[in-house]
Amino acid sequence: MTLRNMHFYAYHGAMPHEKVVGGDYRVTLQLEADLSAACVSDELDDTINYAGLYDLVKSEMETPSRLIEHVAVRIRTKIKEQYPAIDSLSVTVAKLHPPVNGMLEVAEITVTD
């Protein structure tokens, strides 16, 4: 299952003004889990609910961090706590147009277990 390109406006960054001005972020989740029961039952309780995943990511994005690495690990930790059926999980946090002395479209980090 992939949840690609969830967009958030958040206040992460090492620079003081980033905590005030904020910026655009994109989060992508790639996960593996045995979803065979849901394939047969057609029941939401038998799958990994992507709306629940989105809400969890949104909540973590609302908590400021200095580093996107920290944000990605927090998201991964919370997901693994709430969805123990997930066998593997990759979380990518991308900071769009980060403040650098030049033009940079995106800085992103991926954490995988």
Q: How far apart are CA 31 and CA 86, in angstroms?
A: 7
Please, is 71 exposed, middle or buried when counting C-beta atoms within 10 Å of its C-beta (0-12, 13-18, 19+)? Answer: buried
Tell me which H or E stretch contains 41: helix 36-41
CA 15 to chain centre: 21
57: amino acid identity, one letter: V
Q: Tokens 């949840």: give the residue.
A: 3
Q: How far apart are CA 81 and CA 113, in angstroms?
A: 13
Residue 80 catalytic? no
Q: Which of 19, 58, 80, 95 is catalytic?
A: 95
Hey, which residues are catalytic here? 95
